[in-house]
């Protein structure tokens, strides 16, 4: 358990050390047992279009964790969407009741549940990191740096 608690602090320290002059502030993580694996923000192909954030959200705690909102530094808005297939057509809708079970996980992946980001600021470019912040209904927060990648690099997602 100690390694899980130290992991966000270690990731934060590595981010600050390698942020290439970016002055990003990482909020303190209070969500014990929560991890984000394989995080990445994918820039849009067309400038000023929405981008996407993907990751695996792991909850190793003894209680379910309900996600209330997600923030991504350097963007105006982050929304959790589900991709819905209806009659051979794909569409997105706002996700409702996003709960990661105790000792469970949830994938945020292309073609499924994901985080859409709009209003991407100029400082958010491929090769830099930004900060992902997940807010839970019990007041806990998980925050960590995530790499920003170009759309071409995401083609194999």
Establish if 156 belongs to a structural domain: no
pLDDT tens digits along 3-38:
333 344 334 333 333 343 344 678 888 899 999 999
Are 112 and 23 within 8 A, CB to CB? no
Domain that holds residue 129: 2-151
pLDDT tens digits along 33-85:
999 999 999 999 998 999 999 999 999 999 999 999 999 999 999 999 998 88
Establish if 157 belongs to a structural domain: no
- State how many domains the chain has: 1
Establish if 41 belongs to a structural domain: yes
């Amino acid at each position: 358990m100690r390694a899980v608690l130290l992991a966000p602090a270690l990731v934060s320290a590595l981010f600050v050390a390698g942020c290439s002059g970016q002055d990003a502030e990482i909020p303190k993580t209070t969500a014990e047992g929560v991890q984000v694996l394989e995080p990445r923000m994918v820039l849009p192909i067309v400038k000023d279009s929405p981008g996407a954030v993907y990751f695996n959200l792991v909850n190793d705690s003894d209680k379910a964790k309900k996600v209330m909102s997600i923030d991504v530094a350097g963007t105006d808005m982050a929304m959790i969407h589900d991709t819905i297939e209806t009659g051979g057509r794909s569409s997105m809708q706002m996700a409702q009741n996003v709960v990661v079970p105790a000792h469970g996980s949830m994938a945020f992946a292309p073609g499924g549940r994901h985080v859409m980001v709009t209003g991407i600021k100029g400082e958010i470019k491929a090769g830099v990191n930004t900060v992902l912040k997940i807010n839970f209904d019990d007041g806990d927060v998980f925050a960590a740096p995530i790499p920003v990648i170009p759309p071409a690099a995401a083609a194999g997602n």
